[in-house]
């Protein structure tokens, strides 16, 4: 039960009771997302059981559920769109009101979760036999990354600058590399994360303390970046992005500062140079399907991104690891681990 980053409690609640149209998932693994420790985003809705990257084994199936059976190994999407509204029909599934109001209960950081009918219809994905529950926890975060790069139209002949070398930044690095991008540059304040970025495919890294536009030009033939992907909610990350994008380039705000922060936009310069600003939120079914396909084909190395595997009783430690962003990269809770 999440109250804030420094107050995560273990509480006993009854095992959810499912209806004839629902299923019960025994959660085997669930990753702690960077958004889970973004307090301006999470605390207003606390106390709450978080966790939206859950994989597990189906423990019970309602009598009207025919597509899945007890024992199936699955990933369950926390939010699903209606696929019928104006936003869904225009490709903006993550703006769908249904997506923002549907979820499983109580959350992925619980031993069992109740999966509603709508999630079963368009949000349950069977795991391949050779995919571990841990690998399955990457389906949702990678899907978010896939959506972001698709919306920003990242191409292999572009210079891609990724500001923030945490989990999202490393997934963006690996996905860009898989697309054939040959000039990937990662920026971070943490030297250990810059080393990880190089390990997972970055061609260059720059400490965030440097003069980023200057360093960028030094390693990029006197040019700025075609694509700037912001993967940090720090205000400095958004400000740096504005000065690192090349003429005709795109800035993708994959992460944003808290709502009280106002970013001064050099709109006249951007108008003159045809700069595109894009945002990306969450993942839609097509993104999740593509993510599952990439992971099933072992196109990305996600297992080596896991730095911590913790029991439910160690949840508070896990949240602190992700919040402090020190040596951790991917922290996974295993709710049913003894």
Residues of the chain with pLDDT under 50: none
Q: How far apart are CA 231 and CA 187, in angstroms?
A: 10
pLDDT value for 325: 82
Which DSSP letter does residue 326 get? S
pTM for this model (two decimals): 0.96
pLDDT value for 173: 98
Q: How far apart are CA 152 and CA 98, in angstroms?
A: 25
pLDDT value for 327: 81
Tokens matching residue 148? 């972001």
Q: How far apart are CA 133 and CA 75, in angstroms?
A: 8
Structural class in CATH, domain 2-138+302-334: alpha beta
- Say if CB 309 and CB 332 are below 8 A apart: yes
Q: How far apart are CA 32 and CA 42, in angstroms?
A: 13
CATH architecture of 146-279: 3-Layer(aba) Sandwich (3.40)
pLDDT value for 338: 80
Q: How far apart are CA 196 and CA 30, in angstroms?
A: 22
Spell out the SS3 assignment of 71-101: CCEEEECCCCCCCCCHHHHCCCHHHCHHHHH
Residue with tokens 């295993």: 334
3-state secondary structure at position 304: helix
Between the alpha carbon of residue 159 and those of residues 151, 180, 229, 230, 256, the distances in Å are 16, 11, 11, 14, 22
pLDDT digits (tens, 9 = 90+) for 254-305: 999 999 999 999 999 999 999 999 999 999 999 999 999 999 999 999 999 9
Query: At CA 144, angle to CA 291 and CA 213, rounded to 5?
Result: 120
Please write down the long-range contacts of 217-226, taking CB distance under 8 Å and 24 or more positions apart. Answer: 219/185, 220/159, 220/183, 220/185, 223/159, 224/159, 224/249, 225/158, 225/159, 225/160, 225/161, 225/185, 225/249, 226/158, 226/159, 226/160, 226/250
pLDDT value for 276: 98
pLDDT value for 102: 87
Domain ranges of the chain: 2-138+302-334, 146-279
pLDDT value for 46: 92
């Amino acid at each position: 039960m999440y109250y804030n980053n420094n107050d995560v409690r273990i509480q006993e609640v009854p095992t959810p009771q499912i209806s004839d149209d629902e299923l019960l998932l025994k959660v085997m693994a669930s990753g702690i997302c960077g958004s889970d420790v973004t307090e301006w985003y999470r605390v207003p809705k606390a106390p709450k059981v978080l966790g939206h990257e859950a994989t597990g084994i189906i423990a019970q199936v309602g009598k009207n559920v025919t597509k899945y059976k007890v024992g199936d190994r699955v990933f369950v999407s926390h939010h699903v769109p209606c696929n019928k509204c104006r936003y869904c029909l225009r490709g903006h599934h993550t703006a769908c009101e249904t997506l923002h109001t549907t979820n499983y209960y109580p959350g992925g950081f619980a031993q069992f979760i109740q999966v509603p009918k709508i999630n079963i219809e368009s949000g349950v994905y069977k795991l391949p036999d050779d995919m571990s529950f841990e690998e399955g926890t990457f389906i949702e975060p990678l899907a978010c990354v896939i959506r972001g790069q698709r919306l920003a139209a990242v191409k292999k002949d572009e210079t891609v600058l990724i500001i923030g070398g945490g989990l999202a930044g490393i997934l963006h690095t690996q996905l860009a590399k898989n697309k054939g991008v040959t000039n990937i540059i990662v920026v971070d304040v943490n030297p250990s994360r810059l080393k990880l970025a190089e390990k997972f495919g970055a061609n260059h890294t720059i400490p965030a303390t440097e003069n980023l536009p200057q360093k960028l030009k030094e390693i990029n033939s006197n040019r700025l970046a075609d694509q700037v992907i912001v993967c940090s909610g720090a205000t400095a990350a958004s400000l740096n992005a504005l000065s690192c994008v090349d003429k005709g380039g795109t800035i993708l705000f994959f992460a944003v500062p808290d709502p009280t922060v106002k970013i001064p936009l050099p709109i006249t310069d951007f108008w003159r140079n045809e700069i595109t600003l894009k945002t990306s939120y969450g993942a839609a079914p097509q993104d999740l399907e593509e993510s599952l396909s990439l992971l099933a084909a072992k196109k990305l190395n996600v297992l080596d991104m896991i730095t911590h595997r913790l029991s439910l009783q160690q949840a508070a430690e896990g949240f602190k690891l992700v919040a402090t962003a020190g040596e951790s990269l991917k922290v996974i809770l295993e709710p049913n681990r003894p």
